[in-house]
Structure 1
Amino acid sequence: MNAPRPLWQGRALALIGIVLVAFSLRSAVASLSPVLDHITRDFAVSSVVVGLIGAAPPVCFAVFGLATPLIERRFGLERVAIGALTVMSLGLLLRGLANDSLTLLAATVVVFAGVGAGNVLLPPLVKKYFADRLGVMMTLYSTMMAISTFVPPLVAVPIADSLGWRLSLGLWGVFAVLALLPWITLLLRERSLAPTASASDTPPPDPTDGIDDVTDAVAVATGSIATAPADRRVFGRLWRMPLPWALAAVFGTSSTMAYVAFAWLPALLIDVGDVTPATAGFLLSLFALAGLPCGMVVPILIVRFQATRPLFLVAVAAGIVGLLGLLLAPTAAPALWVVVYGLTAILFPLSLVLLSIRARTPESAVALSGFVQSIGYAIAAVFPLLVGLLHDTTGGWQVPLVVIIGVLVVSIPAGLVAGRRRTIEDEWEARHGRW
């Protein structure tokens, strides 16, 4: 087994670039809803538009998640990463310059087009430059994405109060612009070097080198999903089995909880929790912060202890308790309800780990990942808009909260199916014979 080389040895620019990309991908999602109260003082933003803004991330992630691999094959990882970051930077700038709800929505779609592409590109970039340190790097960028989810709500309102909401929104574009610089430098350096000296022509170390623990093993599996070619035959079979649909329902539930919260939680807390916009932003930050330990602990508990079903039921129970608290006693302990609701973040790393261990090969895993994420994001795109429509129709938050609680309850059978210790190949062979 070869010793992995230091992270910064000959690849410091890639390290900096990956960290900055990871930070930029999530800060765009979490920085808008805390300052909607400030924006509405300048122009009206209807609940339908807020719902569409909340639906934009999963829709863009699904669409551009499918399109990006095709573009990358033609232009290469670094060029497409530069393009995605440029689009994201432009969208963040335009969002800060919006003069009505439609331009705000259009700029948000531009932002998440770039984010959707970045989500797909980041694991292959890690695999290209850090194949010998996958576990460390994927933990690093996952942690950075978690940090960039809870920091923006924490500072967005204070900045908007002192410097205006436009600067509060546009500020996050600075990180996207900074993320461009290492990749532009790497691309220029690659062009100037002879092909034999190019970093991309150097055979990467064996991805299994340096795997010391469960977290590294999970990271290798996730990296394989991101780069392996999809098998159309396998993808076609997934439609005919319960397990892939169960995994899609779990992933869709996870995404629904997150995007409904980022679209509506601050407004809900201001309306029924009797808190200020600054406090609502802080509470949204607490919601996001709950995902940080989940991402570190859940993969180990699943792979080492086969704890899929207990973790799923804990996440669902926590979500129901937190939402019931907001429904029945919103002013009693809003911070407690938000943190408990935030434990639904368990479902996200749970879903990602299951995408790797519920398939025998990287080829079938990438087909399963595409199936689950496309359907899951389609499910998640419905609910931010539905919550806004229900809020407008009923004039309150009771019905929307009941609907979101219903999503958690309905997902329970899917979670139990997803928790079965079998692969999609096992399920196919039990029903149809040889895989």
Structure 2
Amino acid sequence: MTAPQPLWRGRVLAVLGILLCAFSLRSAVASLSPLLDYVAADFAVPTAIVGLIGTAPPVCFAIFGLATPLFERRFGIERVTAVALLVITAGLVLRGVSFGAVPLLLTSALIFAGVGMGNILVPPLVKKYFPDRIGMMLTLYTTAMALSTFLPPLVAVPIADAAGWRLSLGFWGVFALAGALPWILMLVTGRTAAQPVPSARPTEPAYRDAADSADPAELSTGPIVTTPASSRVFARLVRLPLAWAIAVVFGTSSTMAYVSFAWLPAIVTDAAGVSPAVAGLLLSLFAVMGLPASLLVPVLVVRFQATRALFAVAVSCGLIGVAGLLFWSDAVTIWLWTGLFGLVGILFPLALVLISIRARTPESAVALSSFVQSSGYVFAAVFPLLMGVLHETTGGWTIPLLVIAAVLVVAIPFGLVAGRRRTVEDEWERRHGRW
């Protein structure tokens, strides 16, 4: 059985590298939208460019999510992580000195390319360096991402007022650069081998037993040796219902997030007649609801096997929130419905935990992370645009909100499959023989 080691023992740089990387993945995306009015005061930013910037994240995440395993296979996971963070740093700095709408779009795409790579790499990094502390590290990781979702909107405007929008945009590059330094130092000093974790059982039987054990953290036992993700592993995932189920859970989470960041202020304004300032606060409430989920979900899944229960809570609260927005909204109850709808944020840390515990090895985790996130972001990229088209066509939010409710309902059977206590290797072996 895996013997948990102190979190910091021999792994300080890995802890810092993972947490700073996680913080940079969201802050890089969330720091622009509050400053668009400031940017527009310097040069014109057409609505079409704003729309493309809004659509670019899931598109870039999907493209570079597919490409990242190829890079990891050739160069190694730590080296690719460092490059991804340096790309984010360069994009943030260059975006801060943009002189027109097109450079603003191109530098944003550069940022999202680096973020797309980082999204794929962090769960396998947790798998490699913290097989004995998966729950704790995923809790810290998802909490860092939750903090970086609502912190930039809170401080971006004050920084812009004090020092200008260019510094406010470029400021977040400090965290991305800081996140790259631990991985660079580990590469330079040759400290990229994970710490061995003692095992009382042979490695292969331990993987099999752990699929049905009380603690999915035991899915990794024995010394951890990282091998590059291969196209063979990725191709096998395409044939597994479990991989598709996790992808749908992740895609549903991403859909709810990007639809809300694009349209929730307009929805609550029309539904309850609130002011734009209150609509902004309601959007912050939606984002903040993900923070307690980030703290609790990894522990509840890893220690108490609560995958299906958490999925049920997320979908139920999301549907109740949508129903409230549709039928019972006023200036008071809108806060309740928005908060309930915000609990769909449970799905994001849930999907990330599943990526780590539904694969036996870091190699499989890289491929599963790539498959799940790329597929999920392709799914999510459709809906912000679809919501706008449906609103424009119907003149209201009833049909768009019903579509969102339908997405949650369709995801239910996939959530049940994702809750199966087995790895993708187990599922392949049950269906096709040896992995």
Place the TM-score, normalised by the shorter chain, in its bin: 0.7 to 0.9
Shift of 1:136: 4.0
Judging changes above 3 Å, is the alpha-carbon distance between structure 1 residues 428 and 400 closer, same or farther for their aligned structure 2 residues?
same
Match of 2:26 in 1: 26
State TM-score, norm by structure 2: 0.78
Cα distance in 2 for residues equivalent to 1:381 and 1:324: 24
Find out whether 1:87 has 2:87 as its counterpart: yes
Cα distance in 1 for residues equivalent to 2:77 and 2:364: 23
Residues 103-122 of structure 1 show CA distances to partners (whole Å, capped at 9, x for unaligned) of: 33222211111112222343
Residue type at the aligned position of 2:315: V
Shift of 1:221: 5.6
- Cα pair 1:254 1:344 within 8 Å, conserved: yes
Match of 1:4 in 2: 5
Residues 406-428 of structure 1 show CA distances to partners (whole Å, capped at 9, x for unaligned) of: 22222233334434556656766
Match of 2:263 in 1: 264
Matches within 5 A, 1:111-260: 111-123=111-123, 125=125, 135-160=135-160, 163-187=163-187, 190=189, 198-200=190-192, 204-206=195-197, 217-218=216-217, 229-230=228-229, 232=231, 235-260=234-259
Match of 1:195 in 2: none
Provide the alpha-carbon RMSD of the alignment.
4.0
Percent identical pairs in the alignment equals 63
Residues 60-96 of structure 1 show CA distances to partners (whole Å, capped at 9, x for unaligned) of: 2232233233334444455433322222122223333
Residues 224-250 of structure 1 show CA distances to partners (whole Å, capped at 9, x for unaligned) of: 999555465554454445444333222
Cα distance in 1 for residues equivalent to 2:131 and 2:354: 22
Cα distance in 1 for residues equivalent to 2:157 and 2:214: 36
- Cα pair 2:311 2:346 within 8 Å, conserved: yes
Gaps in structure 2 of 5+ consecutive residues = 201-212
Judging changes above 3 Å, is the alpha-carbon distance between structure 1 residues 334 and 26 closer, same or farther for their aligned structure 2 residues?
same
Question: SS of the residue aligned with 2:332?
Answer: coil
Match of 2:206 in 1: none
Judging changes above 3 Å, is the alpha-carbon distance between structure 1 residues 103 and 269 closer, same or farther for their aligned structure 2 residues?
farther
Match of 1:193 in 2: none
Residues 124-145 of structure 1 show CA distances to partners (whole Å, capped at 9, x for unaligned) of: 5556666665554443333222
Cα distance in 1 for residues equivalent to 2:166 and 2:91: 13
- Cα pair 1:23 1:145 within 8 Å, conserved: yes
Residues 175-215 of structure 1 show CA distances to partners (whole Å, capped at 9, x for unaligned) of: 22333444455555x2xxxxxxx4347x7222769xxxx99
Question: SS of the residue aligned with 1:117?
Answer: helix
Match of 2:286 in 1: 287
Match of 1:53 in 2: 53
- Cα pair 2:89 2:177 within 8 Å, conserved: yes
Cα distance in 2 for residues equivalent to 1:235 and 1:279: 45
Question: SS of the residue aligned with 1:199?
Answer: coil
Judging changes above 3 Å, is the alpha-carbon distance between structure 1 residues 46 and 390 closer, same or farther for their aligned structure 2 residues?
farther
- Cα pair 1:92 1:111 within 8 Å, conserved: yes
Judging changes above 3 Å, is the alpha-carbon distance between structure 1 residues 221 and 12 closer, same or farther for their aligned structure 2 residues?
closer
Between the two proteins, the alignment pairs up a number of residues equal to: 420
Cα distance in 1 for residues equivalent to 2:56 and 2:323: 27
Residues 358-379 of structure 1 show CA distances to partners (whole Å, capped at 9, x for unaligned) of: 5677666655444333222210
Match of 2:315 in 1: 316
Judging changes above 3 Å, is the alpha-carbon distance between structure 1 residues 396 and 383 closer, same or farther for their aligned structure 2 residues?
same
Cα distance in 2 for residues equivalent to 1:155 and 1:414: 38
Match of 2:348 in 1: 348
Residue type at the aligned position of 1:57: P
Judging changes above 3 Å, is the alpha-carbon distance between structure 1 residues 102 and 152 closer, same or farther for their aligned structure 2 residues?
same
